[in-house]
Each structure stands twice: as structure tokens, then as C-alpha cells.
Chains A and B, each alone.
Chain A
Amino acid sequence: MPGTSRALRKLSEVLDKLSIEHMLIGGFALAAYGQIRTTQDIDMAIAASYPKSVELQTRLEKMGYQVSPKPDPKAPFFFVTDLKQMLEVEMWTKPDGVVFDAELMRRRVKVNPYNDDFAIFTIGPEDFIVNKLARRDRGVQDELDAVSVLKLREGKLDYLYLKKRARQVNVLELLETLAQKSGNEID
């Protein structure tokens, strides 16, 4: 079993015990949509209020994880390092462009990343695209990840929902321009 599998499974169990809804975002979510690129860390979005997030961080530290920086209500994420597996997880309490609501939760996709009995949610494809385009430090790779999902899910995306979310976080024009340039119809 790869190290990431053990680490991810353990973390997911802790989150479940604390009743914190969670889902993969970033490179691990991209792979669920069929695109392959390497990534050094795991990005996870967690629906946790500040007190709940502090509770989680305290629990993880007690279990031997390294958690940094110190809890801060304004911080959008914190790092959790599994020192045994040398794996870093970015826990996003406020992922860019992502609104934790019932619709986001309903659109999550369950995946078996290691082809075994371990299942975990990834962010839905439409929300994945919006998250990538809304990143405050958006770079080339983020845009290309969005293009990949637009293409791999061509005709299967909920374009009305995608545009609604993109409009909410001010990235609709970016989305339309990228779609145009990559030959993806979103109308």
C-alpha cells in the first residue's frame, strides 16, 4: 500500500470522527477526472468552522502530526505533515472560490483512489474548475488544469451551474476566454 494511501486513510478517519465534511481538491482531484500530473502534496477542502478547525488541529498534533502555522481565524488553510510518511496535506478551510453549501456537497464525486475499499470524496468538476480559476495566486498550471477538466468532461458538465459559480466569484470572463481558446463550448 503506498504511503499516501495510509496517510490519506488515517486523516480521513480523523475528519469523519470529528464529523468534518471533507473532499480532495487540487492534483488528487484532477486525477479523478482522468488527468495525470504529479503533485507533491495533497490538497483537501474541509467544511470546518474556526473552533472546529482548532479542535482538529489539536487532535492532529496529539496524534503526532506536525501542524502549522498556529490557528488563525483569517488563514484560508493550514499544513498538516505526516512525519512518518513525509506527506504534507494542505487543509483548506476557505478554498478560493469555493462556497461550502448543500449544492457543493451534493456535487462531490466519490472515488476509490487506490482501487481498494477506501473511498473519499473529491470536489465536483464544475467547482474544481472555479476553484482553480479563483485562486489568488493563479498560475499557468491552474489554468491548464481547468482546461483539462473542461475537455475531459466535455458535454457532461453542468454548464449552467459552472457559470453560476464562476459569476459568483468573478471569474466568468476568465472561464469564457479559456473555454474559447481551448475550443470548449460552455453555452
Chain B
Amino acid sequence: MLQVELASTILSYCNETDLSVSELIRKVGGNYGNTMTQLKELKERSLLRSEISREKSAGRPRQLLRTTPIGRRFIDEYKHLHDLSLRSTDNDIRKALHQVELARRLVEQGISPYARFQEINEVARNIASTAKVKRSTR
């Protein structure tokens, strides 16, 4: 049976670049057997095809996986469906509401959130640029 989320991940990877089966399995991670089953299923449904690499190299010729035109359509349609779901969890929303409460308290104490935002942001930017300089001077 097709596992829609995994199928979409596989098709997306194979749409972006040509991958061999072992490369794809490394990228997808997770259970090897499960990914292989999905690959077989996707090929049977003509959403994915494999072809022999034309590149000349030593050893056995590589088999590359490619997403078919209906496979690309599958990715688009899945993306539409995926867009319908929320990314944030209940916990994320609770935290955001707590932050709103804290921001309200600032206003009650006569502190401008915009002024505080500028201060904090400037500090964060300085830290980020210092980190970049440190990385580049290593």
C-alpha cells in the first residue's frame, strides 16, 4: 500500500536530482525494507521509473531513479493537501499566547515593545555577525 507522506518525500527527492537506490535510501533514512517496498509500489504505479546511467564509470552501471510526469503531479497535489494542515502544535500556540501576555505586560509598564524589539534585535545581530567573523577567522 502507498504511504502518501513517504511516497511524496521519495518523489520530491527523485524530482530534484538523479539518485541511485542507495543514495535515495540514505537521504530518506528510516526503515530500509519499508523504503524499498514504497519504491516498488511507486514504480508499479508509474510514479517513478529507473533508468541506467549513461555516464561511463568503472564497475556496474548505476540505476538512477526519476520521477515521472504523473509523479510530479502527485507531488503538486500532495503539496496542496499538505498546505491545508497546520504546522504548529497546541504547545507552540500556547507558548505564542504566553509571549503575547508578556508583551502586554511590557506595555502596561510603559515600555514600548518596538523600542525593546530594536534593542534586542541589535544585540542579536551583533552576536550573529561576531559569530560569522569568528567562523571565518578560524
Contacts and interface: CB of A to CB of B under 8 A. Distances in A.
A144 interface: yes
A2 interface: yes
B55 interface: no
Interface in A14-50: 27, 31-32, 34-40
Interface in B97-111: 97, 99-100, 103-104, 106-107
A5 B83 CA distance: 36
A31 B96 contact: no
Interface in A142-187: 142-144, 147-148, 151-152, 173-174, 177-178, 181-183
Nearest to B95: A144
Interface residues of A, number: 37
Interface string B27-41: 000000000000000
Given A4-B118, A36-B116, 19 more contacts: A3-B125, A4-B122, A27-B121, A34-B100, A36-B103, A36-B106, A38-B124, A40-B128, A86-B129, A111-B114, A138-B87, A142-B87, A143-B86, A143-B92, A147-B93, A152-B100, A178-B86, A182-B93, A183-B97
